[in-house]
Amino acid sequence: MIIVKRIAKGIAILVGVVVLAGVVFVASDWRFYKRLATFDPTTSMTNMAWYEPSVEVKPGTSPEIPVAPKDARTLSDDLVNDLEAYAEDNGTMALLVWHQGALQMEWYGNGFDQTSYMESASMHKSVMGLLYGIAIEQGHIPSVDEPASTYLTEWQDDARSKITIRNMLQMAHGLSRATGGFSPLGDNMKLNMGTDWAGIALKSHAEDPPNSVFAYSNLNSQLLGLLLQRATGMPYAEFLQKNLWSKVAESSAWVWLDRPGGLAKTSGSLFTPARNWLRLGLLHLNKGRVGDEQVVPEDWIEQVITPSPNNPNYGFQTWLGTEYSAKRDYGKGVGAHVPHSEPFEARDVVYFDGASGQRVYVIASEALVIVRTGQGGMNFQTGAFLWDEPKLPNLVLRGLKSAATDLE
């Protein structure tokens, strides 16, 4: 009996030690473990309250968006019906079509409306890409060929010192990826949900020579956000609000921070209603102008949409429809791809790409902007996103061509 009691006591002490160690371990980064424990992938695109702390990016006074009267719109009734059916079939929450100077279609589903916020995913990268042109024009950064280590000083004494800002904007940085996969102990999960995104991202090392391989990377875009903040001497959200959002948007955006007063998530997590994404598409369409103001330098817009040496379908943090491929991949180290069942109907497609089919398509040759936000998914066996890239823009483009033919 005494032996049994001693064993029981020993087990109790051991359990207590393990529990105490677990409590101490979790308490060391409680915000990260709270995020892990409460994350719900089924609501992650719409549950803005989960993304705390966040900081508001306020709008200014923007011109009203012209809306085409139903009897004067350039989209035929058949095309509108086809687009609505398409939207209802694939979890779309907002679908907006701008053509030839006016909003021709504005459709919302799943309880969404003009005021609804949604996680932008990687479309945020394309917004950040615009900010670099503004920062260069204002003299915060000399040029895109400046070494990134001028601002990421942690790189100055190793091979990363050869990486330029251009390399990073074009996803040709040559950096290693965050390790650990979906393990809560790995750097990858901490880069996604942790409380020191800069610290994790700066741990990456040079794996390939810069400008030698295309490698789409959230880590790289997170470092671009850190670099921009250091170069401007201003919190990212403040620079975004002062120089872009207050001139373009009609309502607020929210940017997620790793911790109170910390670094903004610049690889994703810009929450804003769909109409603001339309306005950002129009900014591209109008070569950086809003009304009479040149918000983003026109030559910068041209650089953003210039094909990069290692991927003709990628510019500066923005995708291009330059060359057809049945599987648009994300470069070295990424197993996922986006199916392209056919080429784009227009050769000048420019688009923001966010997970789950968040898209802004800009087609200057047709004076066309298409915005789609909503749910999506992936076939994890094949690595294919459940989004046929050309289907939506081609549906619109063919409908417009058909209508034009009917008028002849």
**Cβ contact 375:111 at 8 Å:** no
Q: List pLDDT tens digits, range 114-144.
A: 999 999 999 999 999 999 999 999 999 999 9
Residue 7: the pLDDT is 72
**pLDDT tens digit sequence for 233-252:** 999 999 999 999 999 999 99
Confidence of residue 163 (pLDDT cuts 50, 70, 90): very high
3-state SS record for the chain: CHHHHHHHHHHHHHHHHHHHHHHHHHHCCHHHHHHHHHCCCCCCCCCHHHCCCEEEECCCCCCCCCECCHHHCCCCHHHHHHHHHHHHHCCEEEEEEEECCEEEEEEECCCCCCCCCECCCCHHHHHHHHHHHHHHHCCCCCCCCCEHHHCCHHHCCCHHHHCEHHHHHCCCCCECCCCCCCCCCCHHHHHHHCCCHHHHHCCCCECCCCCCCCECCHHHHHHHHHHHHHHHCCCHHHHHHHHHHHHHCCCCEEEEECCCCCCECCCCCEEECHHHHHHHHHHHHCCCEECCEECCCHHHHHHHCCCECCECCECCCCEECCCCCCEEECECCCCCEEECCCCCCCCCEEEEEEHHHEEEEEEHHHCEEEEEEECCCEECCCCEECCCCCHHHHHHHHHHHHHHHHHC
* Average pLDDT of the residues in 378-400: 94
312 touches 151 (CB < 8 A):
no
**d(Cα 175, Cα 172) in Å, to the nearest integer?**
8
288 near 297, Cβ under 8 Å? yes
pLDDT of 23 reads 43
Q: pLDDT tens across 55-106, in order?
A: 999 999 988 999 999 999 999 999 999 999 999 999 999 999 999 999 999 9
Q: Which amino acid is at 216?
A: Y
What pLDDT score was predicted for residue 10?
64
Q: What is the pLDDT of residue 406?
A: 61
User: Of the given ranges (91-100, 135-144, 357-366, 396-405), which has the lowest mean pLDDT?
Assistant: 396-405
183-217: pLDDT as tens digits: 988 999 999 999 999 999 999 999 999 999 999 99
**pLDDT above 70: percentage of residues in the chain:** 92
Asked whether residue 156 carries a pLDDT value surpassing 50, the answer given is yes
Q: Is the pTM of this model over 0.85?
A: yes
pLDDT level of residue 22 (50, 70, 90 thresholds): very low
Average pLDDT over residues 254-269: 97
Average pLDDT for the chain: 93
